[in-house]
A and B are shown apart, each in its own frame.
Chain A
Amino acid sequence: MTDTAITAEGLRKRYGETQAVDGVTLEVERGEFFGILGPNGAGKTTTLEIIEGLREPDEGTSHLLGEASWPRNPALLHRIGVQLQASAFFERLSAREQIHTFASLYGVSGDRADAMLETVGLTEKGSTRENKLSGGQAQRLSIACALVHDPELVFLDEPTTGLDPQARRNLWDLLRTINSEGRTVVLTTHYMDEAEKLCDRVAVMDNGRILRVGTPAQLITELGVKSLEDVFLQLTGREYRE
C-alpha cells in the first residue's frame, strides 16, 4: 500500500496544433485536499482527465492508489469517484433514479444511495427530473453520484461554477466533511477564495504546465503578496483568456 494517492509523471497531450498538457508531474498524498488552479484553457480539465484514466496521454504515466490509470482498470474504478465538469445525468430520470442507477453500477445498495441523497440534502427533490433541478441541486446530485460507492479518491471538476453564495458555502461544508472522513479530494476551480479555504495544497497551471505547487500560505509568502488571487494573477498574467 503506497502513501501517495496520485503519482503523475511527465504527462503530455496534444490536440492537433494545441499542446493541451505539456509535461505535468505531480504527487498527491493520501487524505490531502488538492486544488488545480489555472485560467480557462490552461489544461486543467485535460490533466484531470488523463490522471483519472479517461484519456490516454501521448507521453507519461499516471498512477492512482498505486495502480496505473491507463488502460482502463475496473478494479481501480471502484476506488475512485469522479464528477465531470458538465453534470452527466441519464436523460429524463429523477434525482433518486439517477443515484440508484449509479449505485447499482458500482454494486452498492439502494439504501446507501438514499443515504447519500440525504447527505447532500436532496431527499425532498428525489422525484424531480434531472432537467428540473437547479444548478446547485444538479451539482450536489452529481457529487452524490460520485461519492455513492464510498471511494477513497474523489475528483471534482469545477464543482462550484455557477452556484449562488449559499449553495457554494453548503458545498464547501460537504467537501470538507468528505475530506475529513479520510478521503483524498482533488478539485479544479476558478475561485481563489475557495482554493485558499479548502485546499491543503494547490498547483497553479498555465499553458499545459504546472507553474507552482505548494500550500496557499507558502505561495503567498514566496511571492510576497497578500492573497492567493495575487499569486494567481502574478503567475498567469492579466490578459484575457478564451
Chain B
Amino acid sequence: MKSFISLSKAMALGLLRDKAAVFLMLVFPLMFLILFGALFKSDSTQQAKVIQVGDVRVLDAMPDQERAGLRDVLKIEKTDGSAAARDEALAKVRKGDMDAVVFQKGKGGVELRYSAADSVRSGNVRGVLNSVVQQANQQATGQPPAFRLAPRQLEDKSVKPIQFLTPGLLSWAVAMGGVFGSALNLVSWRRKRILRRLWLAPVRAGSVIGARVGVNLALAFAQTALFLGVATLPVYGLRLTGHWWLTLPLVACGALAFMSIGLLIGSWAKTEEAANGLAQVVVLPMAFLSGSFFPLDSAPGWVRAVSDYLPLTHLAEAMQSVLTRGEGWGAALPVMGGLLLFAAVLTLIASRIFRWDDA
C-alpha cells in the first residue's frame, strides 16, 4: 500500500509538473468547450435589421411597450427622408448588410424593400413588419380585437449545442488523457530505466499498474469536474438532468479503455517522439470520426460504419444520454461493459509486446 501511494505520488507530480501535458489534457479541451460554447450559443435566427428612411407613421407611433417587445427580433435604424439616403439604404440591402428598407408612401402606404438572398431572413422581416402594420390597423378601428393570441414558452427539450458539446468534448479530453498519459509514461519510464529499477525493488507489479490506473482515473475525474463546472455556468447553461452522475462510472470505464490504447502504444513505441506521434494518429481521427466535435447524422454511411467501432463514439453517446437526455443505467451499462472488454483485450495485447527495456 505504501509503495502504491508513493508511486502514485511520483506519477502525479511528474504529470502535474509537465506543463505541456497539463495544457494538453486539461486546458486545451476546456478551451474548445469555451470557444465552441460561445460560438454556438447565439441563436440561428437573428434580428431583422431594417433601415427606416424618413418618417413612417406606424413605426414612429408605436407605443414603447410594443417597441420593447420587438427589440429581440427587429432592429430599426432611422435616417433622414432624402432621396440620397433612400438610395444609400437600398444599396445596403442589395449588398446584404441590411435586411430591408422601409419608407412611407402617401398617407397610408408603408413600402418595404427587401432582398431575397436569404429566404428565412426576408420572410422574417416581412412577417414582423406585417404584424406591426396589422396591429396599427386594428387599433385604428377603435374596436377591441376579436381574436387574441396568448403565447407562453414551453421548456425546450431539443439538444442545445452545449448539451452536445459537453459530453463530446469531455469524452475527447478523457481519451487524450488516457492515451497520452499512459503511453508517454510507459516509454519514458522504460527509457530512463525506472522500470528496471522498480524490478529490482521489492514492489509488486500490482502497485505499479495500480498507481498508473489511479492517476489516470484521478485525471479523468478532474477533467469531468472542470468540464461540468464550466458548462453549467449560466453563460453556457448546461442543465444536469436526473442520472448525470452516471457520467462518473462511464468516465472511469472510458479512462481505462483509453489507457489500454496508451499502454499498447507505449509497449510498442521505442521513443517518446514515436509514442507522441502514434497517440496523435490514434486520437485525432478518432475524435473526428466519433462525432465528439460535431454530429455525424449527415455523415456518409462508411464514416458512421467506422465510427461504430470506436470506443470514443460509444462513450460520447452514452455520456450525452445520461448527461443531457435524462437516460439512466440502460444507456450506460452496455457501454461500460463494452469499454471494459475493449480495455481487457488491448491490455492483453499490450502485455504480449511489453518490453522492460530498449535492448
- B-contacting residues of A (Cβ < 8 Å)? 15, 52-54, 72, 74-75, 77-78, 80, 82, 84, 86, 88-93, 97, 100-102, 104-107
Contacts and interface: CB of A to CB of B under 8 A. Distances in A.
B202 A88 contact: no
B196 A92 contact: no
A145 B210 CA distance: 23
B196 A104 contact: no
CB-based closest 10 A-B pairs: A104-B6, A88-B197, A74-B202, A88-B193, A92-B17, A77-B202, A90-B10, A105-B201, A82-B200, A91-B14
18 contacts: A54-B196, A74-B203, A82-B197, A88-B193, A89-B192, A90-B194, A91-B188, A92-B13, A92-B14, A93-B13, A93-B14, A101-B6, A101-B7, A101-B9, A104-B2, A104-B6, A105-B202, A106-B202
Interface of B: 2-3, 5-7, 9-10, 13-14, 17-18, 188-189, 192-194, 196-204, 359
Contacts of A80: 200
A105 B6 contact: yes
A80 B198 CA distance: 13
Given A93-B13, A101-B7, A107 B2 contact: yes
B200 A54 contact: yes
Given A52-B200, A84-B196, A92-B18, 7 more contacts: A82-B197, A84-B193, A89-B194, A91-B192, A101-B7, A104-B3, A107-B2
A106 B7 CA distance: 12
Nearest to B201: A105
Contacts, number: 69
Nearest to B199: A54
Residue of A82, A100, A101, A105 contacting most chain B CB atoms (<10 Å): A105
Contacts of A100: 6
A93 B6 CA distance: 12
A97 B13 contact: yes
B3 A53 contact: no
Nearest to A15: B359
Nearest to A84: B193
Given A77-B202, A104-B2, A104-B3, A88 B10 contact: no
Nearest to B6: A104
A3 to B, nearest CB: 24
Contact of B194 (A54, A75, A88): A88
A183 B6 CA distance: 27
B192 A106 contact: no
A90 B192 CA distance: 8
Contacts of B192: 86, 88-89, 91
Contacts of B3: 104-105, 107
A106 B202 CA distance: 6
A72 B199 contact: yes
Given A84-B196, A86-B193, A90-B10, A106 B17 contact: no
B154 to A, nearest CB: 54
B13 A106 contact: no
B197 A84 contact: yes
Residue of A52, A77, A91 contacting most chain B CB atoms (<10 Å): A91
Given A88-B194, A100-B6, A53 B13 contact: no
B5 A104 contact: yes
Residue of B5, B9, B200 contacting most chain A CB atoms (<10 Å): B200
A106 B14 CA distance: 21
A88 B200 CA distance: 12
A88 B196 contact: yes
Residue of B13, B193, B201 contacting most chain A CB atoms (<10 Å): B201
Nearest to B207: A105
A239 B84 CA distance: 98
A200 B7 CA distance: 38
A52 B196 CA distance: 11
B5 A77 contact: no
A74 B199 CA distance: 9
Nearest to A130: B192
A147 to B, nearest CB: 13
Nearest to A94: B13
Contacts of B200: 52-54, 77, 80, 82
Contacts of B193: 84, 86, 88
B359 A77 contact: no
A61 B250 CA distance: 49
Given A15-B359, A89-B192, A104-B3, A97 B10 contact: yes
Contacts of B5: 104
A101 B8 CA distance: 10
A58 B139 CA distance: 103
Contacts of B13: 92-93, 97
A106 B198 CA distance: 11
Contacts of B196: 54, 84, 88
A93 B18 CA distance: 11
Contacts of B204: 74
A105 B194 contact: no
A104 B207 CA distance: 12
A80 B199 CA distance: 12
A106 B2 CA distance: 9
B194 A102 contact: no
Contacts of B17: 92
